[in-house]
A and B are shown apart, each in its own frame.
Chain A
Amino acid sequence: LAKTTQPISMDSYEGQEVNITCSHNNIATNDYITWYQQFPSQGPRFIIQGYKTKVTNEVASLFIPADRKSSTLSLPRVSLSDTAVYYCLVGDPHGGATNKLIFGTGTLLAVQP
């Protein structure tokens, strides 16, 4: 399973764009990159998933360079409610139960007024 490395914490202010990077040097050919958000005492919630280049949805964008050894989650114009832990996971989403969904350390994003 590909190991992921993220910054432990980041600080930002309301209205700014936040970019959280994730390193996954030994990503496999069939692996996708998936980001989850977790608030205290709640279960993680899916944000976005991608395989290569750029993916965008209503809440975030995911940038993946050609070598796929890293990825960047971009949150546009963050608000106080975006304060949470963000996890980057790497695995084969089509693998069913063999996809162990292993969480790395995550990044605690603190948004200030």
Chain B
Amino acid sequence: DTEVTQTPKHLVMGMTNKKSLKCEQHMGHRAMYWYKQKAKKPPELMFVYSYEKLSINESVPSRFSPECPNSSLLNLHLHALQPEDSALYLCASKDRNTEAFFGQGTRLTVV
């Protein structure tokens, strides 16, 4: 199984809502990543987890809260988002001697 599965595929949320994005991989990869991608722009790194611990936070606003409950699962909790946070959110996983595997993303719209 070389898949990274992200759910939901699409999400519309209001600015006062709380929602979560989920990412799952069963390749035994020890690093997991969250990216944000706006239209016609490259993916922008948000967070990196290594061995279930947050190792890199690229100065992301606190309205985005990552969580890694176990080695296969990565969540991104969303609260009080702004319309400009609308984007494609990508999850990736990687191990030391592998390339990165990306999920298909969650298309988020904040209204």
Known: A98-B55, A99-B31, A101-B92. 18 other contacts (CB 8 A): A34-B99, A41-B105, A41-B107, A43-B4, A43-B104, A44-B90, A46-B100, A93-B98, A96-B50, A96-B95, A96-B96, A97-B31, A97-B51, A100-B56, A101-B45, A101-B100, A102-B45, A103-B43
- 4 nearest interchain CB pairs? A43-B102, A97-B50, A103-B42, A46-B99
Contact A43 B103 (CB under 8 A): yes
Q: Which residues of B contact A101 (CB under 8 A)?
A: 33, 45, 92, 94, 100
Contact A43 B99 (CB under 8 A): no
Closest approach, in angstroms, between the C-beta of A87 and any C-beta of chain B?
A: 7
Secondary structure of the B contact surface, majority rule: strand
Closest approach, in angstroms, between the C-beta of B93 and any C-beta of chain A?
A: 11
Question: Is A25 part of the binding interface, using a Cβ–Cβ cutoff of 8 Å?
Answer: no
With contacts A96-B30, A97-B31, A97-B56 taken as known, whether A42 is within 8 angstroms of B42 at the C-beta atoms is no
Size range of the interface on A?
A: 20 to 34
Contact A97 B55 (CB under 8 A): yes
A sample of 5 inter-chain contacts (CB < 8 A) reads A43-B102, A46-B99, A96-B31, A97-B50, A101-B92
Q: Which residues of A contact B99 (CB under 8 A)?
A: 34, 46, 49, 93
Contact A105 B94 (CB under 8 A): no
A100 to B47 Cα, complex, angstroms: 9
Contact A87 B42 (CB under 8 A): yes
Q: Which residues of B contact A100 (CB under 8 A)?
A: 45, 48, 56
Closest approach, in angstroms, between the C-beta of A62 and any C-beta of chain B?
A: 13
Contact A99 B94 (CB under 8 A): yes
A34 to B100 Cα, complex, angstroms: 10
Closest approach, in angstroms, between the C-beta of B79 and any C-beta of chain A?
A: 24
Closest approach, in angstroms, between the C-beta of B107 and any C-beta of chain A?
A: 7
